[in-house]
Structure formats: C-alpha cells, structure tokens
Copies of this chain bind each other. A is one copy, B any other.
Amino acid sequence: MAFTLHPKLADGGHPLARFAGCHLLLKDNALFPWLILVPETEVEDLDELTPERYAEVCQAIRRVSTFVREQFPLEKLNVACIGNVVRQMHIHVVGRSPGDPAWPGTVWAYEGKEAYPIEKIAALQAAAATFEW
C-alpha cells in the first residue's frame, strides 16, 4: 500500500528530502530550526519498529541532526518522537538557542508561529538536495 503523509504533517511542512524510507519536512515555523522526519511505517512508536528498521531510523535521525547543525546556528539539539495528537510516527529534530522564543521550555508547548520567506525554503531545499543523506 502506498504511504501517505498525514495531512497535518504535509500541510505544516515543506518537503526537504526523501531517504532511508523516510520523508523529511521543514516545519513551516521560522521561529525555530525545526525539521520533522516521517518514516514510512504503519506503527506509531519507535520501539514497535523491527530492530533493523529501528536502527535505520536512528541513523536517519543522526543525519538530520547533522543537517540541522550545518544549516542553522544552535546551542542545543532537541530530538523527540511524541505523536500524541498526530499519530503517524514522526520525529522532531529542533535546534534550540537561549535567544529563541520558547527557551528553555519545549517548542511543543509554544504557540507562536512565523512562516518562512520563500527564499529561505528554497535555499534549504537546495542544501538538502546536495546533502549526503
């Protein structure tokens, strides 16, 4: 069966890459360097993946972390698989800095949002196109 991104994930993000059986999205919130990795799977929690797939997704998270670190200034990297609302498995990789509006709280408890300028989205998509995933 073809995999379909949950509409809330698809609508709230810009596609950056597809690798390791995962879709990588840039969350459309310029307040934080916030990427979302969506593995193609029907299970909801990381530990429900097979051991091989789990290891593959963990490596994918590591690559996304490297990409975020290369593309944005940041002091801390938050990684989380939560999904209590949107149940399709997705992993947040979020660069954090003492100057960001939610610091030191989590981004999930923060309501603020700012759309990216189209040039910034295009620049990140271009960087993602040449990144070694």
Contacts and interface: CB of A to CB of B under 8 A. Distances in A.
Contacts of A51: 62
A47 B62 contact: yes
Nearest to A57: B58
DSSP majority for the A interface? Answer: mixed
A78 B84 contact: yes
B82 A106 contact: yes
Interface in A70-114: 76-85, 87, 96, 103-106, 108-109
A54 interface: yes
A132 to B, nearest CB: 14
A69 B44 CA distance: 14
A45 interface: yes
Given A45-B79, A55-B59, A84-B106, 5 more contacts: A46-B65, A55-B58, A76-B87, A84-B104, A108-B108
28 contacts: A44-B76, A45-B65, A45-B79, A46-B61, A46-B62, A46-B79, A47-B62, A47-B65, A47-B77, A54-B58, A54-B62, A55-B55, A55-B58, A58-B58, A76-B82, A78-B80, A78-B83, A78-B84, A79-B80, A79-B81, A80-B80, A80-B82, A84-B96, A84-B103, A84-B104, A84-B106, A105-B109, A106-B109
